[in-house]
Amino acid sequence: MNSNNNNVYKKKRMKTLVWFCPRGSYTVEAAIIMPLVMSFMVVCIFVIQFCVLKAGVQRALDRTSTELACVSDDSEEEINVLLAGLLCDGYIMAEDIPKKYIVGDLAGINYLGSELDGNYIHLKASYYVRFPLQIFGLKLLPVIQTSDARKWVGYDPSEGIDSTQYVYVTEYGEVYHLNRSCTYLNPSVKAVELGDISSMRNSDGSRYMPCSHCHSRSRAGNRVYITDYGEVYHASLGCSGLKRTIYRKTLDQVQGMACCSKCGG
């Protein structure tokens, strides 16, 4: 009797297990995962192709700007942007790159931002790349590439002249300096005996007073440190009062500060 009950229980259990066996789960998982895997592969291939495309366009831009720089001359008529674009398109056509991703092919490349006047050539190519998948609404990817070259026009004395006047200041200084080598910015530190400091004077004839930063600290021996144009003596050679952090600023940035009496005249 018990054996019959066990057999019936086992059959019911097997039926239950078979009934709840997720036979279709693999199909569902494949239907979800496979599109994701395929999309990932498409994006990876597109990224590689996009890098190849940009590299080819950049080579064409660099070659065009270099060639225009060689043939440009003050005595010749300036090459306009249209001719520069046609020359660059020819070099892009010679490149083995996936031009199919460019919206409008070569006609979709815009060179209107280029500048060919003066001594420099600035080529600018802007175009749109067609994205293979629409992710978060992204369908077109804007791309801007540039290339610069100097024309072979020889030395130009007026080139590179900066009319901005620069001055030099310290972190806690109250005056600005016209000369970077001013002695106030580059103090000459001397070591003297503390007992002699009362009889010593700086270059302006003033007495040396103890430094408020390092005088209260312990020091080894009776040696202190002074500068010719300083007004205090220092107990430590590493005192921040002996260091100069110098900043270069424009004259407009130091409005309200007085000019150094030594290097400013």
82-95: per-residue pLDDT in tens?
Answer: 888 999 999 999 99
3-state helix, strand, coil in the chain (%, to 5): 35, 25, 40
Q: Which amino acid is present at 19?
A: W
Residue 19's pLDDT is 47
Proportion of the chain above pLDDT 70, given as a percent: 77
Is pLDDT of 55 > 90?
A: yes
Q: pTM of the entire structure?
A: 0.50
Residues sharing a CB contact under 8 Å with residue 42, sequence separation 6 or more, in sequence order: 132, 133
152-211 pLDDT, tens per residue? 877 766 666 666 788 898 877 788 888 888 877 777 788 888 888 888 888 778 888 888
Mean pLDDT of the chain: 79
